[in-house]
Amino acid sequence: MDKTETVTEKTTVEKAKETAAKTTATVKSGLQSAGRKLKNGVEAVTKNFRAAVRMGIALAATPVFIGLAALQAFVVRPLTGNQSVIPNLIYNASAKLIGLKIKFNAASAPVEKKKSTWYVANHLSNADFLSLGAKLDGTFAGKGDIMKWPVVSQMARALKYIGLRRSSEYNAESRAKLVKNFNDGQNAIMFPEGTTSDGSKVHLFRAALPSLLYGEAAVDKDKKEVKLEKDVVVQPVAIQVKTVNGKDATSDAALRDLYSMYNEENMLTRVWKRMQVREITVELTAMKPLNPKDFKDAKELMNKAALDIATVVNPGQTTFTKAEIPSQPQKPANDTAKKKPAAKKQTAKQKTAVAAKKS
pLDDT in tens, 110-163: 999 999 999 999 999 989 999 999 999 988 887 766 666 666 666 666 667 788
Tell me how far apart the alpha carbons of residues 305 and 191 are, in angstroms, rounded to a whole number. 11
pTM: 0.79
Instruction: List the domain boundaries for the chain.
Output: 46-313
Strands 232-244 and 280-286: antiparallel
DSSP 74: I
Tell me how far apart the alpha carbons of residues 258 and 199 are, in angstroms, rounded to a whole number. 12
Tell me how far apart the alpha carbons of residues 192 and 128 are, in angstroms, rounded to a whole number. 13
Tell me how far apart the alpha carbons of residues 256 and 51 are, in angstroms, rounded to a whole number. 19
Name residues whose C-beta falls within 8 Å of residue 11's C-beta, 6 or more positions apart in sequence.
none
The total of other beta-carbon atoms located within 10 Å of residue 170's CB is: 15
Beta partners for residue 190, in sequence order: 120, 141
Question: Which residue in 199, 126, 176, 120 sits closest to 156, CA to CA?
Answer: 126
Share of the chain above pLDDT 70, in %: 82
pLDDT in tens, 331-340: 543 333 333 4
Tell me how far apart the alpha carbons of residues 160 and 138 are, in angstroms, rounded to a whole number. 8
Mean pLDDT to the nearest integer, 184-203: 91
Give the model's pLDDT for residue 190.
95
The total of other beta-carbon atoms located within 10 Å of residue 21's CB is: 10
Give the model's pLDDT for residue 343.
44
Mean pLDDT to the nearest integer, 300-325: 94
- At residue 139, the 3 state secondary structure works out as strand
DSSP sequence for 231-284: -EEEEEEEEEEEEETTEE-TT-HHHHHHHH-TT---HHHHHHHHHH-S-EEEEE
Strands 232-244 and 247-248: antiparallel
Mean pLDDT to the nearest integer, 166-173: 85
First-to-last alpha carbon distance for the chain, in angstroms, is 113
Which band of pLDDT confidence, cut at 50, 70 and 90, is reported for residue 328? low
Which band of pLDDT confidence, cut at 50, 70 and 90, is reported for residue 357? very low
The CATH number assigned to the domain with range 46-313 reads 3.40.1130
Give the model's pLDDT for residue 266.
77
Give the model's pLDDT for residue 314.
94
pLDDT in tens, 174-189: 999 999 999 988 899 9
pLDDT at position 204 over 90: yes
pLDDT in tens, 274-283: 899 999 999 9
Which band of pLDDT confidence, cut at 50, 70 and 90, is reported for residue 228? very high
